[in-house]
């Protein structure tokens, strides 16, 4: 059963939102991904958000651009955590998406990641699930070690070229 719902306002959001899916796959978390526009198909949207808990979702990752109401409206209906991904828009470079998603009224939080922060949304969803899943927590700790190792490789390469780190 999918534990995470990934929803985006348009297929044009997919290149960013697939990064969330890739992270969930890395951690072995089942997810369901779909396109639903809160503005263009409000009835379909409402059924999705209202049925998400019964489907077994523990977290929803919602991405949208422009007047980005999808994450906030998911959070208004779904009682568990919603992570919002502001998609970079053509007109305002994603500032519109960011403000639309992050400025939620008190009582209805959306955990907003960076503009185009699809990967971090996936990691954050994994961390939320890891609070009650020790096996998953171990995978996240291993991932943190991977990140450190990748920077150590970069550090070594830099030093090879004579650039010293001061510490
Ligand atoms: C939003 O409008 C979507 O999330 C997308 O980021 C943006 C543009 O949608 P399209 O015109 O590409 O379908 O609802």
Q: How far is CA 31 from CA 25, 27, 95, 150, 162, in A?
A: 8, 11, 28, 27, 45
pLDDT on residue 165: 57
DSSP 3-state assignment of 3?
coil
Q: If the chain, 167 residues long, is cut into consecutive pieces of 10 residues, what is the mean pLDDT of each piece?
A: 96 98 98 98 98 98 98 98 98 98 98 98 98 98 98 91 66
CA of 101 from ligand 1 middle (Å) equals 14
Residue of the CA atom closest to atom 3 of ligand 1: 9
Q: Which domains does the chain have, with CATH numbers?
A: 3-132 (3.40.50.1970)
The predicted pLDDT at position 158 comes to 87
Residue whose CA is at the smallest distance from ligand 1 atom 10: 10
Tokens 């400025």 sit at which residue?
103
Number of the ligand 1 atom closest to the C-alpha atom of 89: 6
Longest distance between any two alpha carbons in the chain, whole Å:
61
Neighbouring residues of 88: CB distance < 8 A, sequence distance ≥ 6: 16, 65, 94, 97, 115, 116
Q: What is the pLDDT of residue 162?
A: 74
């Amino acid at each position: 059963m999918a534990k995470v719902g990934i929803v985006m306002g348009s297929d044009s959001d997919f290149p960013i939102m697939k990064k969330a899916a890739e992270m969930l796959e890395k951690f072995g978390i089942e997810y369901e991904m779909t396109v639903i526009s809160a503005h263009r198909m409000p009835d379909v949207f409402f059924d999705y958000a209202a049925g998400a808990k019964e489907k077994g979702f523990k977290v929803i990752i919602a991405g949208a651009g422009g007047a980005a109401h999808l994450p906030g409206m998911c959070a208004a209906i779904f009682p568990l955590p919603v992570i919002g991904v502001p998609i970079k828009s053509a007109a305002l470079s994603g500032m519109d998406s960011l403000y639309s998603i992050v400025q939620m009224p008190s009582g209805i939080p959306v955990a907003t990641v960076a503009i185009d922060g699809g990967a971090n949304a996936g990691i954050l969803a994994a961390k939320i699930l890891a609070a009650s899943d020790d096996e998953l927590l171990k995978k996240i700790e291993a991932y943190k070690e991977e990140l450190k190792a990748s920077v150590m490789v970069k550090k070594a390469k830099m030093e090879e070229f004579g650039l010293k780190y001061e510490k």
